A and B are shown apart, each in its own frame.
Chain A
Amino acid sequence: MVGLGYGFRTVRLLNRSLIRLIAGFLVGLGLTVSIAACSPVGNSGSQVELTLVSFAVTRSAYESIMPLFAAKWKAEHQQEVVFNQSYGGSGAQARAVVDGLDADIVNLALALDVKRIEKAGLIQPGWDKDIPNGAIVTHSVVDLVTREGNPKNIQGWSDLAREDVRVVTANPKTSGGARWNFMALWGAVTQKGGADPQAQEFTAQVYQNAPLLPRDAREASDAFFQQEQGDVLLNYENEVILARKKGMDLPSVLPTDVNISIDNPIAVVDKNVDRHGNREVAEAFVQFLFTPEAQREFAKAGFRPVDPQIVQEFASQYPTVNKLFTVKELGGWNEVQAKFFDDGAVFDQIQASLRG
């Protein structure tokens, strides 16, 4: 009996202190929250906050576009626009928005990622109809970076399947963006009249030639450039241009016979702008991105512009591709994902066939 009573007392004591401890913990948590919340979120009057979540390499373009827009908005509305910016891998960024990152505008590497946010109920269906050019704000294509002087004489897609060529490309499984490379390889066959089995054989051959599958385009270019792996690097034209600007010396061959149009979509996150009360400025910013002055900045940063006037202006920098195909020609995003990248789909089959 004594033991029992003792036990009870322990439990009661434990409970009381437990409550105190939990209370303490919550107070601490509350404090940190309030510290975090201290940053001003005044979306009325003289200041308005806008959060852009984008894939990694768009930053240099936005750094120049944002001041332009802020000046314009200030002149028209006497309101200061304060930008919050977040850059990272497209898939990771989309997941963050789905999980509660307060993005007002998303600009991602592929529409599939925007569709995920739509599916989570944060973006209204039909977002791509309200924005110019089907919500595609920039383009790019796949570029083949070679070694100095092109010792392996790589001229186009078919050379990638040659047995003496080692190819470096990011892994479509870890990098959403790297799926463009895979689709470019596939389309290089099918868009020239080849059938699916041939396309699969060709892509399998290319991945057979890939000694490593880095996580993303950036790491692929370091593996190629810094660690001198492989003879040719599959990368996006915009990344190649950016890398060149930052001092990497990358000779490249752009396949202009047939290439994929890498379309980077933009969208306003409806749920968030309605909560923040900044829909007007968010939509104005998106519209602004399609103006010639914003498009020019994208073009400077390495992206193919979508504004015809700026396309003309940068014609020498961005050679025309004879047969440019889009995801639609491969059956649209849903089919592409199911056919190529899902568990047990083509990419898995290719990897399994390369085993051993």
Chain B
Amino acid sequence: MTLNTGTTIDRSNPNLKNATQSGENSRLKWVLIGFVVFYMSLIIFIPALNVFYQAFQGGIAGFLHTLTEREFLNAVRLTIVIAAIVVPVNTIFGLCAAWVIARNQFPGRALLLSIIDLPFSISPVVAGLMIVLLYGRQGWFGPLLQSLDMKIIFALPGMVLATAFVSLPFVAREVIPVLEEVGPEQEEAAKTLGAKDWQVFWRVTLPNVRWGLVYGIILTNARAMGEFGAVAVVSGNIVGKTQTLPLFVEEAYKQYQTQAAYTAATLLACLAIVTLIVKEVVERRSGLKRGTH
């Protein structure tokens, strides 16, 4: 409350992007960066480095050999197919759910939000089990599916369901805080100016939430490609057919082909590069947009 008289107001250049005007701030900046690097080294960098180390331990030849194996390539293809189905579907759902929750006040709002969070807390094994209970041979829809000669589990649809389940909350959960932060005023203004619903959505809402959406999609994609537990239960793990990359990793490991397992894992780790690219693209696009406004 009391006016700070100790340090005088020499932070006189508010146009500088970084709040690094004073020595105090510069120190703070480097302390914080130091902390982040330390923490992330412990939790992420060193363990990730170990994965790379293990992958290359047997020399580059073994690494390259795995990358050209047919089963490995099949696993990559299947992983991409599943992500290509799951990510758009979950994005559409996520946007709808985010709008419902952020733009409406209704009883049970917190409950709906908590229900959307649930897939994270449901252990993947149980998630797989639930799908089996529904679509398995002895499941609710089992006899029906069998009489139609349709396969859900131990085939692509079941794996898509499992993947969609575990990555369901991301987009909604990333977009909601942003949507709440920007508020409905701009949308309402556009509306009163005669914009159609979809125009409001494309021109106002979407640009506003773009960062939340980007992170939501990135996380959905990462989780969709990396999921093992739930997919393992419903895939049947048929080599070259229903084996995704994480399942390939697991199997190679079980066969004591440790290097192959780690090699495939490094490829998944390289998904982080996708993150970089997507962010770069969005940044450039939105930068252009801002420039024209």
Binding site for B on A (CB under 8 A): 29, 32-33, 35-37, 39, 51, 53, 56-57, 59-60, 84-88, 92, 96, 98-102, 120, 218, 239, 242-243, 245-248
- Given the interface pairs A33-B157, A84-B241, the reply to whether A99 lies near B137 with Cβ below 8 Å is yes
Chain A hits for B150, CB < 8 A:
33
Residues on B with beta carbons closer than 8 Å to the beta carbon of A246: 255-258
Which of these, A36, A88, A245, contacts B151 with CB under 8 Å?
A: A36
| Cβ-based interface call for B117 (8 A) | no
Q: Mark B133-154, 1 if CB is under 8 A from A, else 0.
A: 0001111001000000011111
Q: Does B237 belong to the interface (CB within 8 Å)? A: yes
B142–A100 CB distance below 8 A? yes
With the chains together, A159 CA to B233 CA distance in Å? Answer: 39
Number of A-B contacts (CB under 8 A): 89
* A243 neighbours in B (Cβ, 8 Å): 256
**Complex formed: what's the CA distance from A84 to B156 in Å?**
15
The closest CB in chain B to the CB of A245 belongs to B256
A219 to chain B, nearest CB (A): 9
A37 adjacent to B151 (CB under 8 Å): yes
Question: Who on chain A is nearest to B81 by CB?
Answer: A35
Is B251 in contact with A56, judged by CB distance below 8 angstroms?
yes
Q: Is the CB of B136 within 8 A of A100?
A: yes
CB distance from B204 to the nearest CB of A (A): 24
User: B252: nearest residue on chain A (CB-CB)?
Assistant: A59
User: Does more than half of chain B's interface fall in helix, strand or loop, or is it mixed?
Assistant: loop
Q: Are B136 and A218 in contact (CB under 8 A)?
A: no
Indicate which residue in A32, A60, A85, A248 contacts B238 across the interface (CB closer than 8 Å): A85
Tell me the B203-251 residues at the A interface (CB within 8 Å).
232-233, 236-241, 251
Instruction: Name the 8 nearest CB pairs between A and B, nearest first.
Output: A100-B137, A99-B136, A246-B256, A36-B156, A56-B254, A36-B155, A101-B236, A101-B154
CB pair B156–A218 under 8 Å, yes or no, is no
Name A86's contact: one of B85, B137, B237 (CB within 8 Å): B237
> Once the chains bind, are A32 and B85 in contact (CB under 8 Å)?
yes
- Say yes or no: A99 contacts B237, CB within 8 Å: no
Annotate B256-277 by CB proximity to A: 1 below 8 A, 0 otherwise.
1110000000000000000000
